[in-house]
Structure 1
Amino acid sequence: MNPVIYRPDHNLSEINSLAELKDLTVRCARCALRDGCSRVVFGEGNPNARLMLIGEGPGADEDRLGRPFVGRAGQLLDKILEAISLERFAHTYIANVVKCRPPGNRAPRPEEAQACLPWLYRQIELVSPGIIVLLGNSALRNLVDPDASITPMRGQWLVSKSGIKIMPTFHPSALLRDSGKKRPVWEDFQKVRDEFLKLAES
């Protein structure tokens, strides 16, 4: 029996848990990315996390394992979190703009991102973080402004309509290509740590 293809064209507010949302997401066929990937990479972490990290999309390692940020960039992200005394499974929830790997690790096309964003929006609502870190241009452009650029906007706090504090910064993969970006990212995550501690005390 073929699985039911779920197309989230209606209001997802009726979905009340991440587990239920994941079950529906893995059956999504709103764009062609699902046809070319091995696994849907839904997201993982603490479902009640105060801090949510959002990247671009799964890479080869993520596609193979069905988990976000498990390759070299993910290992670097773990080290960054450790450096500010946070642990990804205890303190964060991690997701991506798209949940299926784009061919050749290219950036998601606008229509692919738009097809997948309803899932991410509902994830954000269910996790209800106080802070979101946007990792790289794709996350910034799809969640804040399609004309934005990460370099001039990184390190600046933004605030969503619902009051979530948003910190754009470079994607960990950019640090692997350019070590000069490590210092700015470290400064950005220190700001995130300070804000996280304020939330923990409130």
Structure 2
Amino acid sequence: MSQFSDHQTLDPATLLAWQVAMGADEAIDDMPVDRFAPAAQPQSAAGEPAFQPPNAVSQPPARERATQPRPVVAKPVQKMEGAGADVATQVAAAANTLEELQAAMEAFDGGLLKRSAKSTVFSDGVPGSDVMLIGEAPGAEEDQAGKPFIGPAGQFLDRMLASIGLDRAKNVYISNLVPWRPLGNRTPDPAIVSMCLPFIRRHIALAKPKVVVLVGGVSSQALLDTTNGIVSLRGKWRTIDIEGHNFDVLPTYHPAFLLRQPLKKRESWKDLLSVKEKLGLL
């Protein structure tokens, strides 16, 4: 038999300690209250029910009014998939500067993708640089800070760039194909890529880099319009046409992949030297 089976044999201090141990750590009233019992009518001094005007509406006590549910006004339903690729194309084309493009993207209905993200990760580095890097999508740290490539992979990317004399604070411009962090860092699906592609194409057109480095498979496949994997794409220069201008692009491995596969760093080093040669720095 439990030592607490007969509560009448226990002193109040022991009972209180047991109630606290069970989680009852807050006193609401001195006595229990039956909330389901009908409210008692007010009594007059003679013991008769007090007179109420015919149109009077009885009000529950203040404590009970506070616990009653409040009506919630329904909000307009927001589409899960966002405004879509056609609207994104129109919005992007209307931007004439990088500042206008950023403002347009921040105002754009990106659906659940955008609503689940903290920031619109637009860019970092120096606009107008000869080199523009385009990654895939922000991670958790990038979403928190609102800048691309600042986590461990970004720090490794900075070291890679420094090895050929490049620096995001001086002569590199960085952005992403997808400006909003996908839930759970998932790989962006085709619908997301299709919606975001007009923005990054317009971004390239406004930034006017001499060289575009596509970092990772997702950005490489999207901008090159191919289903080939990054292993077959990397290290090979291609030309893409954006709004009547040709841009030299080079796909390469994502630094996060290199951190998991260090043996691939040798191939990325060749890509970096190829960029340096393209810029006439060798």
Is this a same-fold pair by TM over 0.5? yes
Residue in 2 that maps onto 1:67: 147
Q: Do the aligned residues in 1 keep the contact of 2:132 with 2:174 (CA within 8 Å)?
A: yes
2:243 aligned with 1:163, yes or no? no
Residue in 2 that maps onto 1:138: 218
Structure 2 residue matching 1:164: 3-state secondary structure:
strand
**Percent sequence identity over aligned pairs:** 37
1:41 deviates by: 0.3
State the distance in 2 between where 1:25 and 1:196 align: 31
1:11 deviates by: 6.0
State the distance in 2 between where 1:183 and 1:9 align: 38
Residue in 1 that maps onto 2:274: 191
State the distance in 2 between where 1:10 and 1:175 align: 37
Residue in 2 that maps onto 1:152: 232
1:9 deviates by: 4.7
1:67-106 correspondence runs (5 A): 67-106=147-186
TM-score (norm 1): 0.90
AA in 2 matched with 1:193: K
Structure 2 residue matching 1:26: 3-state secondary structure:
helix
Higher relative contact order (CA 8 A, sep 6+): 1
Residue in 2 that maps onto 1:18: 98
RMSD: 1.8
Q: Do the aligned residues in 2 keep the contact of 1:31 with 1:115 (CA within 8 Å)?
A: no
CA-to-partner distance for each residue in 1:25-81, whole Å, 9 max, x for gaps?
A: 112213321111111101122211111101110001000000000000100010001
1:100 deviates by: 0.4
AA in 1 matched with 2:249: I
Q: Do the aligned residues in 1 keep the contact of 2:135 with 2:216 (CA within 8 Å)?
A: yes
Residue in 2 that maps onto 1:125: 205
Structure 2 residue matching 1:159: 3-state secondary structure:
strand
State the distance in 2 between where 1:9 and 1:54 align: 19
Q: Do the aligned residues in 2 keep the contact of 1:73 with 1:176 (CA within 8 Å)?
A: yes
User: Structure 2 vs 1, CA of residues 182 and 9 (structure 1 numbering), >3 Å: closer, same or farther?
Assistant: closer
State the distance in 2 between where 1:106 and 1:139 align: 14
Larger radius of gyration: 2
State the distance in 1 between where 2:220 and 2:89 align: 24
1:90 deviates by: 1.7
1:89 deviates by: 2.5
Which range moved further: 11-20 or 182-191?
A: 11-20
State the distance in 2 between where 1:9 and 1:127 align: 17
Q: Which runs of 5+ in 2 are unaligned?
A: 1-81
AA in 1 matched with 2:270: E
Q: Which runs of 5+ in 1 are unaligned?
A: none
AA in 2 matched with 1:195: K
TM-score (norm 2): 0.66
